[in-house]
Structure 1
């Protein structure tokens, strides 16, 4: 039986060999791909863990340096007290209260026929928190006849206004802010903010890819940057953690941190942090951050008293605090504000009637004087010295602590005027410039009510009231005599005293020999003649 012989096909061997090599290459490539991917995921996870630790540290405890708030003593009025309505109204104006026909909201007052109605703001006094009070104060002649609290439905013997915020003591930081919480601001504020800056804030997870894509297409079509795709969370990350650098790496880091923040914290916590962080203007060399401070800076009132047009103005400024600076560019700021109001109307947040009324209103800006620094520098210098002793740790002074002082603003202003006027009168017959200082104290309590450091009382320089070293001469006699006469068994007006030369040595070794005004000594004299 014959055997059949076959020969191997060289081309078949070649194809099998190449297929084997191709499979090996693909297998090697996929292994490499998955290894690189796995390493990338591990590195990304570690980096995310590192960023999470940074975020957690920043969000725990005090997120920001908040200047110490220095308050004057509150004006307290009582039944039967002799005080004019104008003096109380002056205090209300100092506190930024608004005069209206009918006072029905916090921070408003009305006055007619010797009846003053005040919606006294809620305030955290040193003795405890006091709620909003609807006070009706009536006068009988020159004295207060009755203080009636309509919110409690009964009369009171006394009442006090919240103290005036004299100044805010900043340390080395160039940022200033007043912290707010969601329960201390109007509901319209977060609504307007999310509507304008991030419509899908409550639906996305830190980033919004579709918004980024829409912004990219709009910017390409316009040939310039006309729209941003960042969410509120991304804006918060950029403001709190990152620089202004524009790069893909920074943008990626921003997105990762935004996702982490959204996963770790609630939407309420995120928007509250944004409300306190966002940059809204410049007050001299200090940056105005957050709606709490901006409401005082632009409208001289706390954030909870902001009206809808005022909220729209502040939200409008976010897009460009310099470009939409309402004090420099009122017209363009109003146009932007009206656009925000239109968006609120389109979303049925305000009625057509309100919208038409609001867009016809002016911006209604305040002067911003309530946040001016350097007021009453002599008194504030003493406050600063005491704070440095009481709160030696700088972080405590930058934690938003409230300092309630004994400053009586009426006494302070009168003291400044009296010293300046008196020195001007005495200067007429003298060539050498005269200077002076004054300290006003309460004789009953010993509290310091006013300090004037010099003729130019607004000058923040040498404080003569605290730092001038001069011999006081006979000015010390009343204090010495009073102390001596408190014990009549030792001294009385007929007690004989020695009137003889004496030499005293100071700490540095210098001697001093006091003289009588006529340069003569009488040996002995009565206390009443000394």
Structure 2
């Protein structure tokens, strides 16, 4: 008996062509939707960033304009306040060399200075005082001579005045600031440059107020972080952190000379913008010198103690260069709470 075995093969079913096309179209549509949403997300992120960049750039431009106007008219002599009448010098005038030197110092001129941030510079050459008015580019400075020589006779009288080598009948000094606050009197003081600051005082101020002063560009991110930690009270050393502020020396200079002392985010933002603009225009040495000239350090009666040189004389009866380490540290410590010494 013969047995025949046959294998049965089921016919292979091919996928329907219509279903495959539909799946491909669905996948392509999902890909397009994903790409569209991705582009929308990127644009939603970029547009605010671009607008923020434009706003910050415009704010910096305005801050730079403010700084340039201040520098063009004399940084220390362009603030609202009470000023004496400008002193006019004439040949034959009874005016000694020593009086002229003192007048120049009080009106913001500094001896042998190379920076244009001050009202001007002067040099003493025997019986001749060489005066170099600042060349700021403002309307009043365009006609200012580059160098003025005032020659004195042996009788402490002005013998002659020349401007850029040509004899002139008179020369007018910058007005002397009696006070930058109409409600407060201030004693006489001269303008200090960085070279006038003793190293012991510089180290004391930087150690307390701004240790990274020579490293940052006006705003210190680390200082801002410390201030936020202080405000939140976070960290194991929060008690120590609370004694440290987020404002750099440049920002404090801006607050003292440009802005009001109000505590708002808008003022803090403007302070940061102006501080950044100042850092791009002045050297660190000039910024620190301006700060030491302007800082308020208490009051004696009706007289405001403004600047480290006045503080040295009022509180210790010494010249700035003669301060000890402890005295310099005390002056630096007074900066954060000057009203305790009012």
Shorter-chain TM-score bucket reads 0.5 to 0.7
Give the 3 Å change call, closer, same or farther, for CA 4–262 of structure 1 in structure 2: closer
TM-score (norm 2): 0.58
Quote how far apart the aligned CAs of 1:14 are.
4.1
Q: Which has the higher contact order (CA 8 A, sep 6+)?
A: 2
Whether the 8 Å contact between 2:193 and 2:286 is mirrored in structure 1 is: no
Question: Which of 195, 201, 219 is residue 189 of structure 1 equivalent to?
Answer: 201
In the alignment, which residue of structure 2 is the partner of 1:83?
A: none
Matched residues in 2 for 1:253 and 1:169: separation?
Answer: 28
Deviation by residue 1:375-427 (Cα, 9 ceiling, x = unmatched): xxxxxxxxxxxxxxxxxxxxxxxxxxxxxxxxxxxxxxxxxxxxxxxxxxxxx
In the alignment, which residue of structure 1 is the partner of 2:331?
A: 314
Quote how far apart the aligned CAs of 1:290 are.
1.2
Whether the 8 Å contact between 1:68 and 1:170 is mirrored in structure 2 is: no
Whether the 8 Å contact between 2:295 and 2:307 is mirrored in structure 1 is: yes
* Number of residue pairs matched by the alignment: 241
Matched residues in 2 for 1:170 and 1:212: separation?
Answer: 33
Give the 3 Å change call, closer, same or farther, for CA 250–172 of structure 1 in structure 2: closer
Give the 3 Å change call, closer, same or farther, for CA 180–45 of structure 1 in structure 2: same
What is the correspondence of 1:232-381 to structure 2 with a 5 Å cutoff? 232-323=249-340, 325=341
TM-score (norm 1): 0.39
Whether the 8 Å contact between 1:205 and 1:259 is mirrored in structure 2 is: yes
Which ranges in structure 2 are unaligned for 5 or more consecutive residues? 1-13, 86-94, 97-122, 130-176
Structure 2 residue matching 1:205: 3-state secondary structure = coil
Give the 3 Å change call, closer, same or farther, for CA 188–225 of structure 1 in structure 2: closer
Structure 2 residue matching 1:7: 3-state secondary structure = helix
Deviation by residue 1:80-135 (Cα, 9 ceiling, x = unmatched): xxxxxxxxxxxxxxxxxxxxxxxxxxxxxxxxxxxxxxxxxxx98x9667xxxxxx
Say yes or no: does 1:173 pair with 2:182. Answer: yes
Tell me which structure has the larger Cα radius of gyration.
1
Quote how far apart the aligned CAs of 1:56 are.
2.0
Whether the 8 Å contact between 1:174 and 1:287 is mirrored in structure 2 is: no
Give the 3 Å change call, closer, same or farther, for CA 206–169 of structure 1 in structure 2: closer
Give the 3 Å change call, closer, same or farther, for CA 299–202 of structure 1 in structure 2: same
What is the correspondence of 1:125-524 to structure 2 with a 5 Å cutoff? 169-170=178-179, 173-174=182-183, 176=186, 178=189, 179-219=191-231, 220-221=233-234, 222=238, 225-323=242-340, 325=341
In the alignment, which residue of structure 1 is the partner of 2:163?
A: none
Whether the 8 Å contact between 2:293 and 2:308 is mirrored in structure 1 is: yes
Deviation by residue 1:449-473 (Cα, 9 ceiling, x = unmatched): xxxxxxxxxxxxxxxxxxxxxxxxx
Which ranges in structure 1 are unaligned for 5 or more consecutive residues? 75-122, 130-167, 329-530
Quote how far apart the aligned CAs of 1:42 are.
2.4
Structure 2 residue matching 1:264: 3-state secondary structure = coil
* RMSD of aligned residue pairs (Cα, Å): 4.1
